[in-house]
């Protein structure tokens, strides 16, 4: 059956609200640090101080700085007892607060002599200097970055409590560029993405691949237009509920949204530019809700030149950062080369005619 778009498109804001309705955060799981990168933290217990006590940062002589005032090679300070030698990482001896270089103490004679002054904290890593007592590695609701993984390892953690949505991506037979693009983006934002191929482009074959039992979000790629082989929406209608087909979003107006039970479903067009636009505008907000991610922060910079847009359809624009400003790359029609070059994106609302050159606009990074 040929799938036809309705005479009027569903406004983007209404479609977004519909697909988000009833979506709740997934249950946290403990993930190894090797799998945590990009995932959103659910819970973060406060950490103990690191290092737990003052330790030597360098090899040398451990001494107390207040005892060394005035010491120099011209006026050596005789010590009443031999100084303690410490290696980097050793706990500092009691009452010692600095580490002098090896040649700053002369131990060749029967009495050790100090040939230089020291400052409190010199050559010492203070207790809590790397991680203060009670400091979380990552604030809940934020994604784990490489620096956080480093801190977690340093604190002796093996796992982190994360929210990791399970995403199933069903591709219609044909060009798999869009499917790979979306799966790669999904993994980059911390989702567990499983790819599946329908055996053919007909509605029955696609419906057989729509398994929502082991996922939190289901995506289909291709088969959403008005052609003879566009059967993804018919498959969704057979297995679940179609909430909207035809969304006032460019590119991506042939996309559809629906549900299979409690699992949200987004049917993305098979063209990479349209699939990416729907991913950015509709799918990422669902994943953010599933992972309880804190709101994404836009970067506000002026435009290098005007962006013109037609009223009635929300449009996706891709931008490149150039010398502290956003340079528009494309709007509405996005080539693969443009997608590869883009640093950020924004949605031009359906009631806007665009933005003037020099206007400050809020854009979101494509790769965070």
Per-residue confidence band for 137, with pLDDT thresholds at 50, 70 and 90: confident
Give me the mean pLDDT over the 15-33 stretch. 95
Question: 319: which 2 tokens?
Answer: 């931008």
| The two structure tokens encoding residue 304 | 């290098």
Q: Where are the domains of the chain?
A: 10-26+165-290, 55-125, 299-365
Q: Which CATH class is domain 10-26+165-290?
A: alpha beta
| pLDDT of 43 above 70 | yes
pLDDT, tens digit, 9 for 90 and up, residues 65-78:
999 999 999 999 99
* CB neighbourhood size of 149 (10 A): 18
Q: What pLDDT, in 10s, does the model give residues 298-345?
A: 999 999 999 999 889 999 999 999 999 999 999 988 899 999 999 999
Neighbours of 116 (CB within 10 A): 15
The three-class DSSP label of residue 205 is helix
Secondary structure (3-state) at 155: coil
Under 8 Å between Cβ of 138 and 41: yes
Q: How far apart are CA 221 and CA 131, in angstroms?
A: 45
If pLDDT is split at 50, 70 and 90, which confidence band does 24 have? very high
Task: Look up the CATH number of domain 299-365.
Answer: 2.40.340.10
User: What residues are paired with 265 via a beta bridge?
Assistant: 218, 258
Question: Are 224 and 3 in contact, with CB atoms under 8 Å apart?
Answer: yes
Spell out the CATH class of 55-125.
mainly beta
17-to-182, 237, 282, 343, 364 alpha-carbon distances in Å: 22, 20, 9, 27, 20
Return the structure tokens found at 42: 């659910």
């Amino acid at each position: 059956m040929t799938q036809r778009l309705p005479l009027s498109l569903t406004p983007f804001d209404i479609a977004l609200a519909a697909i988000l309705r009833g979506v709740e955060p997934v249950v946290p799981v403990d993930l190894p640090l090797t799998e945590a990168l990009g995932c959103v933290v659910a819970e973060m217990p406060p950490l103990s101080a690191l290092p737990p006590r003052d330790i030597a940062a360098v090899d040398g002589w451990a001494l107390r700085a207040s005892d060394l005032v005035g010491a120099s090679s011209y006026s050596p300070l005789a010590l009443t007892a031999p100084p303690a030698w410490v290696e980097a990482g050793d706990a500092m001896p009691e009452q010692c607060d600095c580490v002098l270089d090896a040649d700053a103490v002369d131990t060749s004679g029967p009495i050790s002599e100090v040939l230089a002054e020291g400052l409190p904290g010199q050559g010492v890593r203070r207790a809590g200097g790397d991680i203060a007592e009670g400091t979380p590695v990552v604030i809940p609701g934020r994604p784990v970055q490489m620096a956080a993984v480093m801190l977690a390892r340093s604190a002796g953690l093996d796992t982190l409590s994360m929210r990791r949505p399970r995403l199933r991506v069903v591709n219609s037979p044909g060009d798999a560029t869009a499917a790979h693009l979306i799966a790669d983006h999904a993994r980059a934002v911390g989702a567990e993405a499983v790819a599946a191929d329908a055996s053919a482009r007909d509605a029955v074959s696609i419906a057989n691949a729509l398994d929502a039992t082991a996922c939190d979000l289901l995506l289909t790629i291709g088969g959403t237009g008005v052609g003879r082989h566009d059967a993804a929406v018919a498959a969704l209608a057979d297995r679940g509920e179609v909430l909207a087909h035809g969304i006032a979003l460019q590119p991506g107006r042939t996309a559809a949204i629906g549900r299979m039970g409690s699992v949200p479903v987004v049917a993305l067009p098979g063209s990479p530019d349209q699939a990416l636009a729907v991913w950015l505008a509709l799918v990422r907000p669902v994943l953010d809700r599933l992972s309880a991610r804190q709101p994404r922060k836009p970067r506000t910079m002026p435009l290098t030149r005007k962006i013109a847009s037609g009223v009635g359809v929300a449009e996706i624009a891709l931008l490149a950062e150039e010398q502290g400003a956003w340079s528009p790359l494309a709007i509405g029609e996005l080539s693969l080369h443009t997608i590869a070059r883009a640093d950020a994106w924004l949605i031009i609302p359906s009631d806007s005619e665009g933005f003037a050159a020099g206007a400050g606009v809020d854009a979101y990074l494509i790769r965070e």
